[in-house]
């Protein structure tokens, strides 16, 4: 997994940004992301955008500040990348061309940015918007999302890199329930059985991990783990990791059982983001466990989600991707990846559920 964290070893800090290429989306009326008469995204208002996958392209950006903005000549590709099948050299300028607000059929709203790689010789630059970047939450896959508003930018000093979406995972040492009792996530191996909420004991297909240093966690608050405490049980996960909520609180808030991200539980005052001082000198190692389908497992006795393919890509987990395709051949051509075990609650719903729990 990549990170929205600055690498301070170079002359200028680098940031990883999770983006979705235009090849991975469908826009109604044959529209495209590139600006037609303006670089404001106004040509997309009223259209629907459907995300055909959550297979992110992780792009590393060198910047002289902490903000990803429009019309900033100090933002460039740190490394060469292939995007929508086109190769771009290191040092090519990039920007957040415009902001879009999208709404799903249930009325939930999401904020997206037009990700622009400025191709040499192209003028104006907004004619070459190549993908999307996501603030806070990643929208549902396979659902037509209506563009309800647009705006220029973001402007300088407006949207931090740390405000962009980062995928979820477990922290090292988390005990996962198995038929033989709880086992630390890092001790699980492919083939081991794990207890799931919906399908009983299921075999693990793949286990992976990534490490963030204490300095990275200090520099980037969005990477810091979240401490959850329910009925005497204690669990530490990444901010995007989702917890299963069922029963009356979920039914009242959402009309069904849902998955709620740890960061939204923290926003509701029912969890806490760890400070850098509480983190070990060696940093934090986050772990993923993969099954034949997206599952709800029991971590420290708390029902939480497993890894959902498509939330990491060839760029973010290159050594693992061949394993994914070997275990799951359909993922080579799948447009949607795995379906989540339960609907994922919006930020507003998450607050209601967590506050009522």
Q: pLDDT tens across 187-246, in order?
A: 999 899 999 999 999 999 888 777 777 887 887 777 789 999 988 899 999 888 899 999
Q: Identify whether the C-beta of residue 222 lies closer than 8 Å to the C-beta of residue 239.
A: yes
CA separation for the pair 31, 34 (Å, rounded): 9
Per-residue confidence (pLDDT) for residue 122, from 0 to 100: 66
Per-residue confidence (pLDDT) for residue 1, from 0 to 100: 32
CA separation for the pair 303, 63 (Å, rounded): 39
Per-residue confidence (pLDDT) for residue 344, from 0 to 100: 84
Per-residue confidence (pLDDT) for residue 338, from 0 to 100: 66
140: left (phi over 0), alpha (psi -120 to 50) or beta: beta
Q: Which segments of the chain have a pLDDT < 70?
A: 1-13, 54, 121-123, 125-126, 136, 166-168, 309-338
Q: pLDDT tens across 240-285, in order?
A: 889 999 988 888 888 999 999 898 899 888 999 998 888 888 888 8
Per-residue confidence (pLDDT) for residue 147, from 0 to 100: 98
CA separation for the pair 63, 15 (Å, rounded): 8
Per-residue confidence (pLDDT) for residue 167, from 0 to 100: 62
Q: Is the pTM of this model over 0.75?
A: no
């Amino acid at each position: 997994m990549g990170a929205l964290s600055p690498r301070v070893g170079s002359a200028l800090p680098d940031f990883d940004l999770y983006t979705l290429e235009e090849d991975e989306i469908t826009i109604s009326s044959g529209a495209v992301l590139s600006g037609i008469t303006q670089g404001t995204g106004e040509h997309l208002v009223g259209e629907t955008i459907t995300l055909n996958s959550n297979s992110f392209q992780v792009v590393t950006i060198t910047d002289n500040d902490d903000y990803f903005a429009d019309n900033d000549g100090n933002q460039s590709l740190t490394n060469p990348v292939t995007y929508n099948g086109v190769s771009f050299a290191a040092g090519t300028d990039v920007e957040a061309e415009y902001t879009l607000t999208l709404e799903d059929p249930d009325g939930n709203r999401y904020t997206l940015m037009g990700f622009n790689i400025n191709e040499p010789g192209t003028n104006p630059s907004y004619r070459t918007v190549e993908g999307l970047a996501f603030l806070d939450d990643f929208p549902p896959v396979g659902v037509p999302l209506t563009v309800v508003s647009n705006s220029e930018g973001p402007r300088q000093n407006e949207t931090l890199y740390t405000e962009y979406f980062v995928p979820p995972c477990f922290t090292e040492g988390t005990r996962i329930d198995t038929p033989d009792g709880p086992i630390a996530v890092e001790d699980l191996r492919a083939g081991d059985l794990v207890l799931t909420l919906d399908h009983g004991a299921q075999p693990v297909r793949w286990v992976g991990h990534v490490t963030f240093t204490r300095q990275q966690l200090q520099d980037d608050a969005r990477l810091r783990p979240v401490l959850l405490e329910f009925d005497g049980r204690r669990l530490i996960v990444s901010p995007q990791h989702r917890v299963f909520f069922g029963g009356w609180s979920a039914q009242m808030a959402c009309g069904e059982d849902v998955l709620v991200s740890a960061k939204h539980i923290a926003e509701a005052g029912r969890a806490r983001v760890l400070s850098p001082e509480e983190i070990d000198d060696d940093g934090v190692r986050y772990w993923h466990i993969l099954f034949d389908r997206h599952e709800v497992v029991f971590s420290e006795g708390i029902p939480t989600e497993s890894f959902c393919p498509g939330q990491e890509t060839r760029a973010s987990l290159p050594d693992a991707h061949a394993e994914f395709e070997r275990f799951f051949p359909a993922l080579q051509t799948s447009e949607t990846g795995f379906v989540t075990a339960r609907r994922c609650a919006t930020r507003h719903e998450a607050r209601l559920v967590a506050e009522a729990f």
